[in-house]
Amino acid sequence: MTIRTTCAYCGVGCGILATPTGARSVRIEGDPDHPANRGRLCSKGTHLGETVGLDGRLLHPMIGQKRASWDKALDLVARRFRDTIARHGPGSVAFYVSGQLLTEDYYVANKLMKGFIGSANIDTNSRLCMSSAVAGHSRAFGEDVVPASYDDIDAADLIVLVGSNTAWCHPIVYQRIRARCEAGAKLVVIDPRRTETAAEADLHLALRPGSDVALMNGLLAWCRDAGVLDAAFLADHVSAPEDFWARVAEGGDLWSVAQSCDVTVADLRRFYDLFAATPRTVTLFSQGINQSLTGTDQVNAIVNVHLATGRIGKPGAQPFSITGQPNAMGGREVGGLASTLAAHMDFSDENRARVQRFWAAPTMAAKPGLKAVDLFRELGNGRIKALWVMATNPAVSMPDAGAVRDALANCPFVVVSDVMAETDTGGFAHVRLPAAAWGEKDGTVTNSDRTISRQRAIFVPPGEARPDWWIVKEVARRMGWKTAFAYDRPADIWREHVRLSTYQNDGARLFSLAGRGGGGNAEYDAMAPFRWGGQPFADGRFPTPDGRARLVSVFQKPLPAPLRDWPLTLNTGRYRDHWHSMTRTGLAPKLARHRAEPLVEVHPDDAARLGLADGGLARVRTPQGDSLYRVCTSDAQRSGELFVPIHWTDHTSSGGRTGLLPRPLADPISGQPGFKSTPA
């Protein structure tokens, strides 16, 4: 029997037809009826079938190094969390979760922490991925709404990619972009590196890292001077601070913007002219924008241009944040971030009271909790005394991962629920809980364009593995909240999520799942992919109190000059055929062929100056740590900058441990760490 499900990897959210061919084998094909991919799959999705074996799986609960029964492990987790809260208060415990969780898993974890433990110390690795987009959307629109859909790409005449190697990181979206360009649309790529995506663009602006606000403010000023602002849209639907336009003018003329961004005046002018002349423009942005110490401002600089020119809410005219993980968006919808509540609500008193009523919750979190970087800092300071990590590997992926490891080692109680037995983070756990993997559990995911799809089980979970929602609700019940967590199956959780999205929602909030699978189990089982929210902002109404969007004044911060001891700037990112810390892609031999080892990409001039030979070894050092890489000289790099991949770990390599290198600093608004420009 063929099962309709979705891919395990990225935020494109491709539909898959999975046909079991044995006890642990499956044939994978693209689902021609899924709107995200229409039957296509990239290399990672295509080879998913190679990753469903049981090598390295965690199959039983473990207390220390000893196998334990589920009852014993769950009782211990519940007791240690309860005791820690009783002695030190709800702020002394935390969950660190993941965009790999399904929406139902996320919902239950969020409910337990925010409504019953009474703290908002639940954050997610999505903080590392797109929280600047969340903050930017909330500032501009009043709610974290992605207005665009993939269909907008098909209708665009100009596609602008900012900080996104889409050809590698969102390959199926890129195929769609390419098809549109073959039909005549123009492609502009804004990225310090000449990536595979940039190499195919009509125009590549290899700007100085971190100068995106200058670039976008310059574009806004250019559009105003060219007379292409949408005066009627601005008057009817957009508010701005009084001095907004005067401040935009402070960005300077074309020449000074080109200087700030380190691009030629001719290239800059070409981009600005193209944008000004093309009403149907989609600007897609990703980690190059979000993973910055000024990520939120960069998001708003992009959104400002689209609002001011009326390039929003129309087919082919949108700003479009593309997400990294398979369910970063589902997490946003249920409030999986420490800074959001549930169903796109913030922590206003009114929203807290509304959610508390709905959940009949005893102790609502009073305020936002610790965001990821702060959470691990407080773990290191001893303020967090019990931590539960679900489906993620912060000992590898957090910035300054060496300090995160020290913090984990000193925490009195660490729980890790994971699919794999041996992970860098699992090595610090007092209790490890075996989670069901992709292909073994049921639930929903939301992709970058708000399409919600069912992920469906193909196999029975092996050993004693259980779905994450089940593990969390069993702990909640043992902590004393039996009725509130009386879920028997994911459909029960989905129905509650649907009801919460509509509960006392008078239409002020765009996020609503009214009529979406809130009925019986059969309706949930048969759920077809759907996109919520229609075409947001098509009517010019935004989910702010006055219905108007906001232009946000953002300014280019001075970019630091290279330091004497740290003269290079380190950038990090993904490879085409690997995913996160390779727990899954590392199982597929064909995927390893693309990049067999971690490379440090360096400009030939820098390599010559530093005495590095192509193919030799180099140790990359930052104030936080160091690691070894194979040298790849390439003039696709700007001089003075390095690029390294994020995927390798203690378990896969003696080098390439990139998490050790970045600073534990974050955007002050979104809390998203800046991975793109570490002095090195």
Binding site for ligand SF4 (CB under 6 A): 7, 9-10, 12-14, 37, 41-42, 44-45, 170-172
Quick one: 42 or 387, whose CB is closer to ligand SF4? 42
Quote the least distance from Cβ 574 to ligand SF4, whole Å: 11
Smaller CB distance to ligand SF4: residue 28 or 189? Answer: 28
- Minimum distance, C-beta of residue 43 to ligand SF4, in the bound complex (Å): 7
CB closer to ligand SF4 out of 42 and 213: 42
Nearer to ligand SF4, 503 or 530 (CB): 530
The encoded tokens of residue 312 equal 């929003």
Of 438 and 485, nearer to ligand SF4 (C-beta) is: 438
Indicate the residue among 172 and 458 with the shorter CB distance to ligand SF4: 172
Measured on CA atoms in the order 467, 473, 478, 483, is the torsion positive or negative?
negative
**Residue in the block written with tokens 């799986």:** 57
Q: Which of 10, 570 has the CB closer to ligand SF4?
A: 10
Task: Output Rg (C-alpha) for the chain, integer angstroms.
Answer: 24
- Nearest distance from residue 591's CB to ligand SF4, in Å? 11
Question: Contact, 278 vs 186, CB < 8 A?
Answer: yes
Length in residues, the chain: 680
Q: Shortest gap between Cβ of 462 and ligand SF4 (angstroms)?
A: 23
Q: On the CB side of 276, how many CA atoms lie within 13 Å of its CA?
A: 19
Tell me how far apart the alpha carbons of residues 221 and 86 are, in angstroms, rounded to a whole number. Answer: 56
Judged by beta carbon, residue 7 or residue 549, the one nearer ligand SF4 is: 7
Q: What letter represents residue 267's amino acid?
A: D
Residue 428 CB neighbour total at 10 angstroms: 21
Residue with tokens 């093309």: 278
Residue 351: strand, helix, or coil: helix
Q: How far is the CB of 196 from ligand SF4 (least distance, A)?
A: 14
d(CA 139, CA 550): 7
CB of 9 to ligand SF4, least distance (A): 3
Please say which residue, 42 or 471, places its beta carbon nearer to ligand SF4.
42
Say how far apart CA 282 and CA 275 lie, in whole Å. 10
Calculate the CA dihedral of residues 233, 235, 236, 241 and round it to 10 degrees.
Answer: 110
To ligand SF4, the closest distance from the beta carbon of 33 in angstroms equals 15
Q: How far apart are CA 96 and CA 89, in angstroms?
A: 18
Under DSSP, is residue 153 helix (H, G, I), strand (E, B) or coil?
A: helix
Specify the 3-state DSSP secondary structure of 484. Answer: helix
Cβ-closest position to ligand SF4 = 45
The first and second tokens of residue 625, run together, are 């740590």
- Shortest CB 676 distance to ligand SF4, Å: 22
Helix axes 490-502, 349-359, angle to 10 degrees: 140
Residue 95 or 438 with smaller CB distance to ligand SF4: 438
Both tokens of residue 501? 């999205």
Q: Looking at beta carbons only, is 276 or 588 nearer to ligand SF4?
A: 588
Contacts 24+ apart (CB under 8 A), 180-187: 180/153, 180/154, 180/156, 184/157, 185/156, 185/157, 185/158, 185/159, 186/157, 186/158, 186/159, 186/274, 186/278, 187/158, 187/159, 187/161
Shortest CB 645 distance to ligand SF4, Å? 16
Of the pair 10, 337, the CB lying nearest ligand SF4 is at 10
> Measured between alpha carbons, how far is 586 from 194 in angstroms, rounded to an integer?
27
Dihedral sign, CA of 444, 70, 124, 18? negative
- Least separation in angstroms between CB 630 and ligand SF4: 25
Instruction: Work out how close the CB of 32 gets to ligand SF4 at its nearest, in angstroms, rounded to a whole number.
Output: 14
Min dist CB 195 to ligand SF4, Å, is 16
**Comparing C-alpha atoms, which of 499, 376, 314 is closest to residue 124?**
376
Q: How far is the CB of 142 from ligand SF4 (least distance, A)?
A: 30
What is the C-alpha to C-alpha distance for residues 417 and 388, in angstroms, rounded to an integer?
8
Nearer to ligand SF4 by C-beta: 48 or 431?
48
CB 483 within 8 A of CB 90: no
